[in-house]
Amino acid sequence: MTESEFNTLADQVFQRIEHALDATDIDYDSNGMVMEIEFDDGSKVIVNRHVPNREIWLAARSGGFHFGWQDDSWINQRDGDELYAKLAALIQTGSGSAFEF
């Protein structure tokens, strides 16, 4: 995948996350490369595009997760989790409310 193709896909990820978060009262800040999702207790989930590896990275209290584009989905390289499912679970943990994409 070229850098341009990766950035197009990553832009879509960030837009989808922002759209879902806009429907909630969860605070977030995004500059296009990094998104910080902050919860009432001060904890955060960080979403980051890692261009050199063509991956989307998530960082949370529970650990760091690296997602690569595979079979038309963002898949965690370690355990096979899908990006949106993992992020929804992390947001639900942080916010205490059900969350889905």
User: What does the pLDDT average to over 10-37?
Assistant: 95
Which of 43, 48, 41 shows the shortest CA–CA distance to 17?
A: 48
The mean-pLDDT minimum among 5-9, 28-32, 90-94 falls in 28-32
User: Burial level of 87, CB count in 10 A (0-12/13-18/19+)?
Assistant: buried
pLDDT of residue 32: 79
Q: What's the CA angle centered on 91, arms 98 and 13, to 5 degrees?
A: 110
Q: Tally the residues of the chain.
A: 101
Q: What is the pTM for the complete model shown?
A: 0.92
Distance of alpha carbon 41 from alpha carbon 73, whole angstroms: 31
Please state which CATH number belongs to domain 3-94: 3.30.920.10
Please state, rounded to an integer, the average pLDDT across all residues of the chain. Answer: 95
Distance of alpha carbon 47 from alpha carbon 41, whole angstroms: 18
